[in-house]
Amino acid sequence: MSDPIILLDQNRVAKLTGVPRSTMNDWERSGVFIPSPHTKRSHGQLSKWYSFRDIVSLSALRRLRTRGNVSLAEIRQAGEYFARWYQEPWSELRVGYLSGRLVFMNPITHMWEGVDGQQVIQEIMLSDIPREVERELPALLARSASDYGRITQHRGVNGNRPTFAGTRIMVDSVRNLVSHGYSDERILQEFPALAPADIDVVRVELNQAVS
């Protein structure tokens, strides 16, 4: 299954991951972890928005940070490791302890990097984090029932393009999926914040356009 297509602001990411905004900002300034996407607001300033993979990475870094006396330098190495293998399945991203330091497995060779084969690795479980994040998303993304099936358009939000109320999901994104024959179930997998009523609005619009 592909990653959910989401972008969350720092407040929601902090609530979901347990990583305070101040820590996220410190980690970005020091190069520990830099989120992949940014959204440009109309007044010209960049605001930080985090993808699903960014959120999973932050959750993993927090787990590593809280599992013992792990230095910030080692956390930075972990952040670089996640960024380097960003496109690899999370089941292949493995981190462990060796003599008080973090060590990382190469997902291609399946060998621990810089480790003698005779040394014992205490592995830290990370592969469950994507599912854990995905399970918590619905509650975090919960919208008011009055927002379902309603489209809004605001200056500075998604370049002033039509967006589903209570989200930052552009109508064009769902219109494209509907036009390509995606089922409602598949669309809701891709956009967990949406409801069937949102998709209905798009389908009605498309049907009217061709009638």
Pairing status of strand 122-124 against strand 38-40:
unpaired
Number of H helices, E strands in the chain: 8, 9
pLDDT score of 38 more than 80: no
User: 54-58: which pairs have CB atoms within 8 A and are 24 or more residues apart?
Assistant: 54/13, 55/8, 55/13, 55/16, 55/17, 55/133, 56/90, 56/129, 56/130, 56/133, 57/33, 57/82, 57/83, 58/13, 58/17, 58/19, 58/24, 58/33
pTM of this prediction exceeds 0.85: no
Q: Are strands 101-106 and 111-112 parallel, antiparallel or unpaired?
A: antiparallel
Query: What are the tens digits of pLDDT across the range 5-33?
Result: 787 888 889 999 999 999 999 999 998 99
- Asked if residues 43 and 37 have their Cβ atoms less than 8 Å apart, the reply is no
Q: Measure the CA–CA gap between 191 and 120, rounded to whole angstroms.
A: 42
What local confidence, expressed as pLDDT, does residue 153 receive? Answer: 84
| pLDDT band at residue 100 using 50, 70 and 90 as cut-offs | confident
Fold of 8-87+126-137: Multidrug-efflux Transporter Regulator; Chain: A; Domain 2 (1.10.1660)
129-143, 144-158, 189-203: lowest mean pLDDT where?
Answer: 144-158
pLDDT at 40: 45
Domain chopping of the chain, boundaries: 8-87+126-137, 143-210
Percent of the chain with pLDDT over 90: 51
Assigned CATH topology for domain 143-210 = Arc Repressor Mutant, subunit A (1.10.10)
pLDDT at 10: 87
The pLDDT value recorded for residue 145 is 84
Convert the pLDDT of each residue in 119-135 to its tens digit. Answer: 888 999 999 999 999 99
